[in-house]
Homo-oligomer: A and B are copies of this chain.
Amino acid sequence: MGITKSEHFTDEQNELATLAKAIGHPARIAIIQHLIKVNSCVCGDIVNELPLAQPTVSQHLKELKNARLIKGNFEGNAICYCLNEEGFNKINGFFEHINTYLENKKNQCC
């Protein structure tokens, strides 16, 4: 039905899913990559970097902000964006867990 039955899953599962979902769009991947590349707060040129209209980019930034994957501070009439460790630390833990499991995996039935 397009409606996720989140009430049937744990908070942990819902939180990880929300983070992964927020990352799961090429425009938002591009935003993250750009913030890493320039290694500084980016004051608004993200719209010019992406092949999307300004309201669309604003919406993507909002989703990343809600997921705590980026932070935005006002600087005059512009906004300074950079990565937010909070969200990334959370999901990094999950991937490190998987990585460790895959490296030590004994069962090779598949």
Contacts and interface: CB of A to CB of B under 8 A. Distances in A.
Given A22-B24, A36-B98, A41-B109, 19 more contacts: A4-B25, A5-B27, A5-B52, A8-B51, A9-B30, A14-B26, A16-B26, A18-B24, A20-B29, A39-B107, A41-B107, A73-B109, A80-B109, A81-B110, A83-B98, A83-B102, A88-B98, A92-B95, A92-B99
A91 to B, nearest CB: 7
A41 B107 CA distance: 8
17 contacts: A4-B27, A9-B26, A10-B26, A13-B33, A16-B26, A16-B29, A17-B29, A20-B21, A21-B21, A39-B107, A71-B110, A72-B110, A81-B110, A82-B107, A84-B110, A88-B102, A89-B102
Nearest to A35: B101
A30 B110 CA distance: 20
Given A21-B25, A23-B17, A24-B17, A83 B101 contact: yes
